Structure 1
Amino acid sequence: MSEPSASGAIRLSSPQGRWVLTTAVLGSGMAMLDSTVVNVALPRIGEDLDADLAVLQWTVSAYMLTLAALILLGGALGDRYGRRRIFVIGVVWFAAASLLCGLAPNAAVLIAARGLQGVGGALLTPGSLALMQAVFHPDDRARAVGAWSGLGGVAAAVGPFLGGWLVDGPGWRWVFFVNVPLAAVCVPVALRFVPETRERDAKEHRGFDVPGAVLGALSLAGVTYALIAAPDRGAAPGVIVPAVAGVLLGVVFLHVERRRQDPMMPPSIFAIRQFTAINAVTVCVYAAFGGFFFLAVLQLQVVVGYSALAAGTALLPTTVMMLLLSARSGELGQRIGPRIPLTVGPVLCAAGMLLMLRVGVGSSYLADVLPALVVLGAGMVTLVAPLTATVLASVDVDRAGLASGINNAAARAAGLIAVAALPLLVGMGPESYRSAEEFGSTFRRAMPLCAGVLLVGALIAWLTVRTNVLRGAAVEEPCHPEVNYHCGVSAPPLDPGETRRPAPEARA
C-alpha cells in the first residue's frame, strides 16, 4: 500500500479518504456511545456494587468533570503536537480507562476510572473532527463532515438500545468493554492512513494554559463534591470546605486567565455581548438536559418498571428526531434568524419535561412516555443547530474554534453541576433510587425545576439574541448544519475553526 497522502489533498472518494472517515467515526463513536449508554446502566451498577445515589451521580459526573475541564487543552495539544498523535493517544487512553471501568471491583475504582475516561475523551473528541478538516481536500470537507455527522448520529441513536441490551444480557460491565474492540480497530487504521497535521505556527506559541486547566478542574470538583455530599452529610465541614474551596479556586481561575498571554479561556471574549448571551442560554439548556436524562432513565426503570433495554429504547425518539430534522432546523435558523428558534425550542423542551409528570407506576408508553419525548425532541431539534451557528457567528472568524470550544465546555460543565445539584434540590436521599414511591415523588419535583431553567434560557434568548446574527450571512463554504445531528444531548458540537466569512453584523 502507498504512504498516506499529504494533508489537505485527500479526496473523500479515494480508499484513503474512506479510511480517514472510518477512523474519525470510530473515535468519536466511542465517546458518543459512552455519553448515551452509561445512564441506562446506572440502576444495575448501583445494585451490583451496593452503591447509593451519590455513587451513581459520580459515575456520570467524574467523566463530565475531566472532559469539561480539559477539552480546550486537548484541542490545543492536537494543534501543537499533531492532531493524529493526540487523537490516537486519546483513543488508547479512553479504551484503557474503559477496560478499568469494566473491571472495577468497587465504586471507588469505577469513579476514578470514569475520571480517567474523561481525560481520554478530552484528547480524542476535538481531534476527530479537526483531523478531517486538516487532511481532506477543501472541495470534500463539507461532504466529509456531513458523512461523519450522519454516521455519528447513528451511533448516538443506537447507544441507548445497545446499552440496554448489554445491561440485560452479558451485564453492565460490557457497556465499557465494548470500547476496547472499537479502539483496537481505530488505532492501527489511524496510524496507517491518516497523515499527521499540526498548526503551522505551533512553534511560535509560548506554552499551554495548564494552570488554567488545573484550576478549572479543581474548582468544578470542589463544588460538585459538595453538592453530591450535601444530601447525606448536610452542612458538615466536609461539605462546606470543598464548596468554599471550589468557589475560591474559580475566582483564582478567572484571575489567572486575565493575566496569561495565551489563556485557555480569554476573558476578553465575554466582552462580546452576543457571545456571552448565547452561552448563558447554553448553560440553561444543557443544565436542564443533563438533569433530565440522568433522572429519566432511572424513573423508567425504578418507577415504571422497564428493563434496561426497554428504558434505553424508550428514549430513542429524541435522538432520531435530531438525526432526521436538525439540518432543516439549521436552514430555518439561517432564513429567519436564531431569536425565534432559541426562544421556542426551550419552551417546547420545558413542555416535554412537564409532560413527563404523567409518567409513573403503570404508565403507558404510547399514551404517556412517547408524547413527552416527542415534544422534547421537537424542542431539541428547534434549538440545537441555531444555537451552535449563533455561537460561531457571534465572534470573528479567527476565534470560531475557540468560541465553539468554550461553548462546548460550558454546556458540559452545566450538565455536570445539574447532575450534582438536582437531587439535592428535590430532596433525593442516598437510597431513594431503590424505592419506586420515593424516587417517583422526587422526580415529580425535579421536572418543574428543569422546565423552569429552560424557560429562563428562553427568556434570555428572547431579550438578548439578535434576529440578524445568522440571517443573510455569507460563507465561503456551503454551510453544513447537519454537523449538529448527534451532539445535542450532552453538548453542542465542536467546530474545528474552518474558514468562514461572517456577515458584518455578526462581528464583534
Structure 2
Amino acid sequence: MNHRLTLTSSVAGAVVVALDGTVLTIAQPTLQRDLDASYAQVQWTSTGYLIAVAALLVFAGRLGDRYGHRRLFALGMLGFGATSAGIGGAADVDWVIGSRLAQGVFGALLQPATLGMLRAAFPPDRLGRPLAARTAAIGLAAAAGPVVGGALVHSFGWRAVFFVNVVPALVLGVLALKGSGQEQRTSAIRLDLPGALLLALTLACLVHALVTRTPSTSVVAALAAVAFAGHERRTAQPLVPPDVIGSTPVAAALGVLTAASAALSGTLFVGTYVLQRALGLDPLRSALLSLPLAVLMIAAAPGCAVLLRRAG
C-alpha cells in the first residue's frame, strides 16, 4: 500500500470514529423517544462504547505491533461497519447498548492501528505532516459531527447516523485487508496479558466511576492501577514502559486531553438535551446552534499542524 493510500486510510478511519461520537450526541433525544428509553439508558449508549475503548485501547496497539497494524485496521473497520448496521436496525435500546459495546471493541482495534500504519509508512523525519493531517481531520470531524447529525436526524431519523458509517467502513476495511499480507509483523513480541487485564480493569472502572459516581468503583480502579504499575515494573516485556507510567510530560498531556474531551463531550450531551427538550428545538436547529463551536475548532486546526511541527 503506497504512502498516499496509507495516509488516506489512516485519516479516514480516524474520522469515521471521531464523527461517530459527536453525530450520535445530536441523535440521542430522538433515539430516546423512539425506543421509549430512559435518560440513563441513553447515557449508556455512549458510556458503554467508552468503557470498551478505554479497556482495550493500549492492548490493541500491542496486538498491532505483533500481528500487523493494517490487519488490525481492517478488522476494526469491518467490525465498526457491521456494528453500525446492527445499531441502525435495532429494535430496542438494550440492543443499541450491547451493539455499542461491541462497536467500542472494534473502535479500540482501529484507533492505534491508524497511527501504527503511519509510523510504518513514513520515516521519523517525515512523520510530522501526516500526524498533523490526521489530528486536524479528527478535529474537523468532531466539529462537523453535530451539524451532520442534525441534518441526518431531521431528514431521515436517528438510525441514519449509524447507517452513514456502513459503506465507508466496509470499503476501507476491504482495501486494508487486501494489503495486509505485505506488511511486516513483530512476532517476537510477547503479549502482556496480565498487564492488559489490569489496565482494562483500571480504565473500565475509572470510566464507570466518573459516569455513575460510584465510590466503590473508584476504589477498585485505584487498587487495579497500583497493581498494574507494580506488574509493569516487574515484567520483562511490559504493556506500557515504566518510564512512560511515571513521565510528567505524558501525565500532563493526558490530563489536558481528558479535560478537553470531557468538556466537549459533556457540553454537547447536556446542551443537546437543553436545546431539544427544554427549549423545544428540532435536531437541525439545535445542531446549527453548535456552529460557533465548529468554526472555532476548524479555525484552530491549522495552528495545531504548525505547533505539531515545531514542538512535536
**Range class of TM-score, shorter chain:** 0.7 to 0.9
Q: Which residue does the alignment assign to 2:240?
A: 265
- The alpha-carbon distance between structure 1 residues 25 and 51, as it changes in their structure 2 partners (threshold 3 A), is same
- Alpha-carbon RMSD across the aligned residues, in angstroms, is 3.1
2: distance between equivalents of 1:152 and 1:286?
12
Percent identity over paired residues: 37
**Which consecutive residues of structure 1, in runs of 5 or more, have no partner in the other structure?**
5-9, 11-16, 231-238, 332-384, 390-478, 482-499, 501-508
TM superposition score normalised by structure 2 = 0.84
Measured in 1, the distance between the counterparts of 2:181 and 2:141 equals 25
Report the secondary structure of 1:43's partner residue.
Answer: helix
Counterpart position of 2:292: 317
> Structure 2 residue aligned with 1:67, among 53, 69, 78?
53
Which residue pairs with 1:209 in the alignment? 192
Which residue among 111, 117, 130 is the counterpart of 2:97? 111
Distance 1:180 1:102, change over 3 A: same
8 A Cα contact 1:54 1:229, kept in partner: no
Q: Deviations over 1:445-485 (max 9, x none)?
A: xxxxxxxxxxxxxxxxxxxxxxxxxxxxxxxxxx278xxxx
Inter-partner Cα distance in structure 1 for 2:71 and 2:282? 41
Q: By how many angstroms is 1:214 displaced?
A: 2.7
Of structures 1 and 2, the larger Rg is shown by 1
CA gap 1:39/1:265 in 2 versus in 1, 3 angstroms: same
Question: Hey, what does 2:270 align to over in structure 1?
Answer: 295
**Secondary structure in 2 matching 1:203:** coil
Q: Taking structure 1 as the reference length, what is the TM-score of the superposition?
A: 0.54
Q: Would you say the 8 A contact 1:97–1:117 is kept in 2?
A: yes
> Is 2:291 aligned against 1:308?
no
Q: What is the aligned counterpart of 1:101 among 67, 71, 87?
A: 87
Separation in 2 of the partners of 1:143 and 1:226? Answer: 37
1:213-228 map, 5 Å: 213-222=196-205, 224-225=207-208
User: Are the aligned partners of 1:135 and 1:197 in contact in 2 as well (CA < 8 Å)?
Assistant: no
Q: How far apart are residue 309 of structure 1 and its match? A: 1.8
Larger fraction in helix: 2
Decide whether aligned partners of structure 1 residues 186 and 43 sit closer, same or farther in structure 2, where only a CA change above 3 A counts.
same
Query: Deviation per CA, 1:11-42, whole angstroms, max 9, x where unpaired?
Result: xxxxxx44333322332221021121111111
Q: How does 1:109-508 map to 2 (within 5 A)?
A: 109-136=95-122, 141-192=127-178, 196-198=182-184, 202-205=186-189, 207-222=190-205, 224-225=207-208, 245-328=220-303, 331=306, 479=309
One-letter code aligned to 1:208: L
For residues 194 and 95 of structure 1, what CA distance do their matches in structure 2 show?
18
Cα distance change on mapping 1:179 and 1:264 into 2, 3 Å: same
Q: Offset at 1:270?
A: 3.9
The structure-2 alpha-carbon separation of the partners of 1:135 and 1:177, relative to structure 1 and needing over 3 Å to count, comes to same
Change (3 A) 1:480 1:71: farther
Q: Kindly state the Cα deviation for residue 327 of structure 1 after the two structures are TM-superposed.
A: 3.4
Q: In the aligned structure 1, how far is the partner of 2:144 from the partner of 2:199? A: 33
Deviations 1:172-225 (CA, angstroms, capped at 9, x unpaired):
1121111111123212332446774345xx2332x2233333333334444555
Task: Name the counterpart of 1:441.
Answer: none
Cα 1:151–1:164 change in 2 (3 A) is same
**Aligned mates of 1:265, 1:138 — CA distance in 2:** 21
* Alpha-carbon distance between aligned partners in 2 of 1:193 and 1:54, rounded to the nearest angstrom: 42
